[in-house]
Structure 1
Amino acid sequence: MDTETKSLRILTRSDIEAVDITLTDVLDVVAQAIRPLADGTSANPAKLSVSAPDDSSVSYAMLGRDGTRKVVAVRASYRHDPHRDRARLRHYTTLTLYDDDAGLPLALMDCGRIGALRTPAVSALIARACAPPNARTALLIGTGTTARMALPLLLTALPGLERLVLYGTHPDGIAAVCEQFAAHFPDRTVEVAGDVRAAAEGADVLIGTAGPTTPAAVEADWLKPGALCVLVGYGLAPSTLHRADRVIATSADQMAHTGGDLVDAGGTLRRVDAELAGILAGRAAGRAGPGERIFAYNSGLVVTDIALGHHFARLALEQGLGTEIPLWK
Structure 2
Amino acid sequence: MPQRHVHSIGGQLTTLIMPAWIPGRYLGIKTVNIAPGNAALGLPALAASYLLYDATTGQPLALMDGNEITSRRTAAASALAASRLAKPDAQTLLVVGSGQVARLLPEAYRAALPGLQQLWLWNRTPATALALAAQLRDQGLPVAAVQDLATAVRQADIVSCATLATAPLIHGEWLQPGSHLDLIGSFTPAMREADESCFQGASLWVDTIEALRKSGDLLAPLASGLLKPEDLRGTLADLCRQPGSGRQHAQERTVFKSVGTALEDLAAAMLVYEQACPKSRCANAPAS
TM exceeding 0.5: yes
1:65 is displaced (CA, Å) by 1.2
Is 1:260 aligned to residue 216 of structure 2? yes
SS of aligned partner of 1:89: coil
1:108 is displaced (CA, Å) by 2.4
SS of aligned partner of 2:238: helix
Q: Counterpart of 1:239?
A: 196
Q: Counterpart of 1:280?
A: 240
Q: Counterpart of 1:323?
A: none
Structure with more relative contact order (C-alpha pairs < 8 Å, separation 6 or more): 1
1:58 is displaced (CA, Å) by 3.9
TM-score, length-scaled by structure 2: 0.82
Q: What CA deviation, in whole Å up to 9, does each residue of 1:224-254 have, x standing for no partner?
A: 00111111005732325531421101101x1
8 Å Cα contact 1:182-1:189 kept in structure 2: no
Q: Counterpart of 2:149?
A: 196
Q: Counterpart of 2:281?
A: none
| In 2: Cα distance, 1:255 partner to 1:140 partner | 21
| In 1: Cα distance, 2:205 partner to 2:92 partner | 20
What are structure 1's unaligned runs of at least 5 residues? 1-43, 319-329
Decide whether aligned partners of structure 1 residues 182 and 280 sit closer, same or farther in structure 2, where only a CA change above 3 A counts. Answer: farther
Amino acid in the other structure paired with 1:246? S
| In 1: Cα distance, 2:78 partner to 2:275 partner | 24
Q: Counterpart of 2:261?
A: 301
| In 1: Cα distance, 2:239 partner to 2:195 partner | 24
Q: What CA deviation, in whole Å up to 9, does each residue of 1:149-187 have, x standing for no partner?
A: 11101011111011111111244465346424642xx1x
TM-score, length-scaled by structure 1: 0.73
8 Å Cα contact 1:164-1:191 kept in structure 2: yes
8 Å Cα contact 1:66-1:307 kept in structure 2: no
8 Å Cα contact 1:73-1:306 kept in structure 2: yes
Q: Counterpart of 2:89?
A: 134
Q: Counterpart of 2:172?
A: 220
Number of paired residues? Answer: 269
SS of aligned partner of 1:135: coil
Decide whether aligned partners of structure 1 residues 105 and 52 sit closer, same or farther in structure 2, where only a CA change above 3 A counts. Answer: closer
Q: Counterpart of 2:250?
A: 290
Q: Counterpart of 2:15?
A: 59
| In 1: Cα distance, 2:193 partner to 2:49 partner | 29
| In 2: Cα distance, 1:191 partner to 1:180 partner | 9
1:84 is displaced (CA, Å) by 7.1
Q: Counterpart of 2:48?
A: 93
| In 2: Cα distance, 1:287 partner to 1:50 partner | 39
1:64 is displaced (CA, Å) by 0.7
Decide whether aligned partners of structure 1 residues 181 and 299 sit closer, same or farther in structure 2, where only a CA change above 3 A counts. Answer: farther
Q: Counterpart of 2:189?
A: none
Amino acid in the other structure paired with 1:212? A
SS of aligned partner of 1:218: coil
Q: Residue 161 of structure 2 is aligned with which of 208, 213, 234?
A: 208
8 Å Cα contact 1:217-1:237 kept in structure 2: yes
8 Å Cα contact 1:152-1:181 kept in structure 2: no
| In 2: Cα distance, 1:195 partner to 1:53 partner | 43
Q: What CA deviation, in whole Å up to 9, does each residue of 1:35-70 have, x standing for no partner?
A: xxxxxxxxx33222245788x444321111135x72
What are structure 2's unaligned runs of at least 5 residues? 187-191, 279-288
SS of aligned partner of 2:3: coil
Select between 298-307 and 75-84 the one with higher mean Cα deviation. Answer: 75-84
